Amino acid sequence: MVSVLAWAVAQLLKIVSWAVTRGKLNFKRLVEPGGMPSSHSAFVTSLATGVGLTEGFDSTLFALAAVFALIVMYDAAGVRRAAGKQARVLNAIIEDLNRRELHPERLRELLGHTPVEVLAGALLGILIAVWRL
């Protein structure tokens, strides 16, 4: 339940950070990928921290949870972010094609997280796990 709480807090903070940076509320941020803080990072670091606090930071189970967290955070900041950059380039190509009266669908560009978003989510997850356990 701690991981679900960390995920929910991160998702709510995405709405707040969007409102602060863009000056308007956007409740779609609850279900869209990307944004500050990373709810993926908050979820997996709270899981790893919770396992460490209950099973011990020297346990095999914590090692598994920590490796799982690192893989998820690497994917959020690396692979999915690169896919978002590719989507941005493809959308520019599509816009050029649209000038020629073709109407292909735009791709979602905000897929991943910046390293700062991942770090903020990771810290949020750790803090929530420590606070709740």
Counted residue by residue, the chain has a size of: 133
Q: Domain tally for the chain?
A: 1
- In the prediction, which pLDDT does 100 show? 67
- In the prediction, which pLDDT does 42 show? 93
- In the prediction, which pLDDT does 77 show? 77
Q: How far is CA 128 from CA 13, 23, 123, in A?
A: 13, 27, 9
Residue type present at position 121: G
| Spans of the chain, pLDDT less than 70 | 80, 98, 100-112
Full domain range(s) for residue 24? 2-132
pTM for the full predicted model = 0.67
- In the prediction, which pLDDT does 66 show? 96
Start-to-end CA span in the chain (Å)? 10
